[in-house]
Amino acid sequence: MKLVRDGILTKFKKMNLLRIILINICFLTFIVGTYFTAIVLFKIPTSLAISLSYFLSQISGFLTILYILTTILLVRLLSTRLKKKAWISRIILIFGISLALLNSLPLLTTPYSIQNAENEFNIAYGSEWRSEIPNQIESYMSPTQFNFYDYFLGFPIKNCNVDVGVLYYDNDGIRLYFDTYYPISDGSKLPGNNSVIIKIHGGSWQFGDKSLGNVLVLNKYLAAQGYIVFDIQYGLLDAGGSSFIPTPEYVRGNVTLSDMVYQIGNFTKKLEAEYASIYNANLNSVYFMGGSAGGYLTALCGLGYNDPYFAGNFSHALTLKGIIPIYPPNFASRYFDNEPLSRLIPGNPTSNPTTFAKFTPSNLVDAGDPPALIYQGLRDDLVSLDNAEAIKAALISNGIDCMLLTFPFAAHASDLIVGNSYSQVWVYYLERFLYISQQSS
Amino acid sequence: MKPQIILKKISNLSIFLNVIAAALGILYFIMSSPFILYDIFGVFLICSWSFNLLLLFMIDKYLNKSSKLGKKINRHSYYFIISFILSILMIVFGIIFTAFILSGFLAILGSLMIISGFFIIVIYGIYFSLLIFSSNEISEGWNFD
């Protein structure tokens, strides 16, 4: 009898211990969740918060469900103990549901992003712009701007050929490689028609790499649609700092922005001379595309390739059909006036105003430049909206189409997980922009 | 409407939604190319998860936890909440892995995490909804008054 009683007591104590552990985990989830929610909604200027902001808005739909589950679990665990204090359960319920609702905002604002993108396309191409894409071509593209299955189960990875690690530059102790993503079948029968996309990675001009840091899933997706994607490295400033972003040592050195432009220009020359024939690349249809620092270089090279200041850097055999800067910094005087990035341009905006002006992409716009599609998160703590707006204003004032797609609650690098609510909308309009801009003479 | 009837209808709907989500999920994981049917799948997915959550929240109020049946349902509701949480975490990490790593062990692990996370939720959802639906009229397990 005593043994049975002891057994029941032990079981009861174990149950109680498990209950206490679960209650504590739930409260801990709420504390961490409150911090995460603050990061999604407000600017918190700590390196941890900025790093977390890259991911949180991309997975906020999952966090919403987790907070609802935690709320249900906590209310149920406490309800047996606090039968006479129902108000505690009600407070937990209200708090948990509020947390869930706030985290669902990035997902709930998807219709706004879609409407904004539609308006931008209507202004640039007219309200009948979809009729420019034949049905047969559109069948290769995403059928809708957003769906839940890609969001909750991941974006499907497309099949394509990949050549990794081709050396294209070896000078002054810096070696640069590129990867090529190209279609398995004949690209001329696909929407891309073997058009070239030169993809430039981000990382604040000091860090980052091709491949892992340059939205691999999108590279494959575009290659499967008939684009030849060249995912390239360029020289990075070695200012002695460190980052969680993987960066190969062999690309780092005493590099300036002029060197970066020279190296990318050098790639375009080699593309003309060697790689175009290897990959059957269509040099009459070329795009620059990149995010963050890569977005800056995309805008700089795409708008400056025909500017006398950068003359001689680029191949003349390439016809630029568009540029795709993703959260691009624009103002040189803002980004390159403080250590360590001030090492990227000689002097400062007062002592060297011409160079600073030339390294501001919006100053390079002229009537001969290609159209642009820009991605910009509205919760980007590193690159604010006015950068993209300046590029857009310069292009529009020169009579060039520019579509600025904005995404509420989207932080910097919010396009990295391709199935998220921002990226799905982005990919839908990106593939259509690529096709329509190819057709322009 | 009486709570007993509401609970029965919700569990009934939940079984239907989870079964459809599971069937379309199998189709989706076999053939993942864009297809308008999958848009319907996405809606079913969200609805089935929402109804699972609603059931988990609602039963606590009406369950007679001192009865044998009530204890059984209560125990399974906790198992379901915990496996739901773990499955969501598996899916999130699976999606992050597959967004950055496209080949090798981690890519396979990421895909497996997404697939198993999804099926754990829908299969447990079907079982749990069936448990509520089938026991709804057994008065011993509930306090509907």
pLDDT of A80-132, one tens digit each?
666 667 788 889 999 999 999 999 999 999 999 999 999 999 999 999 999 99
Tokens representing residue B57 in the block: 């929240």
Contact A62 B57 (CB under 8 A): no
Q: Where are the domains of chain A?
A: 2-107, 110-439
Residues from chain A contacting residue B95 (CB–CB below 8 Å): 59, 153-154, 417, 419
Residues from chain B contacting residue A214 (CB–CB below 8 Å): none
pLDDT recorded at residue B84: 96
How far apart CA B130 and CA B12 sit, in angstroms, is: 8
Could you tell me which residues come within 8 angstroms of residue A75 by beta carbon, excluding any fewer than 6 positions away?
A: A89, A92, A93, A96, B57, B60
% pLDDT > 90, chain A = 77
* Radius of gyration for chain B, computed over Cα atoms and rounded to the nearest angstrom: 17
pLDDT recorded at residue A263: 95
Confidence of residue A47 (pLDDT cuts 50, 70, 90): confident
Report which DSSP code applies to A159. Answer: P
Instruction: Return the higher-pLDDT residue of B104 and A202.
Output: A202
How far apart CA B111 and CA A154 sit, in angstroms, is: 9
pLDDT recorded at residue A355: 92
A245-287 pLDDT tens trace: 888 999 999 999 999 999 999 999 999 999 999 999 999 999 9
Q: Of the candidates B46, B89, B111, which has its C-beta nearest A148's C-beta?
A: B46
Cα A284–Cα A169–Cα A208 angle in degrees, nearest 5: 90
pLDDT recorded at residue A9: 59
A125-171 pLDDT tens trace: 999 999 999 999 999 999 899 999 999 998 888 889 999 999 999 98
pLDDT recorded at residue B105: 85
Contact B95 A154 (CB under 8 A): yes
Question: Which class in CATH covers the domain with range A110-439?
Answer: alpha beta
Host H or E run for residue A197? strand A195-200
In this model, does residue B75 exceed pLDDT 80?
A: yes
Q: Of the candidates A66, A79, A144, which has its C-beta nearest B85's C-beta?
A: A66
DSSP bridge pairs for A167: A177
| Inter-CA distances, A95 with A44, A75, A104, A195, B38, Å | 22, 11, 14, 51, 34
Looking at the complex, does the CB of residue A69 fall below 8 Å from at least one CB of chain B?
Answer: yes
pLDDT recorded at residue B29: 87
User: Secondary structure of A401-422 in the HEC alphabet?
Assistant: CEEEEEECCCCCCCCCCCCCHH
Mean pLDDT score, A363-375: 95
pLDDT recorded at residue A375: 98
What is the value of ipTM here, to two decimals?
0.94
Range name among A165-179, A238-252, A325-339 with the lowest pLDDT average: A238-252
A4-29 pLDDT tens trace: 666 655 665 666 888 899 999 999 99
Contact A72 B96 (CB under 8 A): no
% pLDDT > 90, chain B = 63
Q: How far is CA B98 from the centre of its chain?
A: 23
B84-112 pLDDT tens trace: 999 999 999 999 988 888 778 888 999 99
In this model, does residue A69 exceed pLDDT 90?
A: yes
Provide the mean pLDDT of chain A.
92
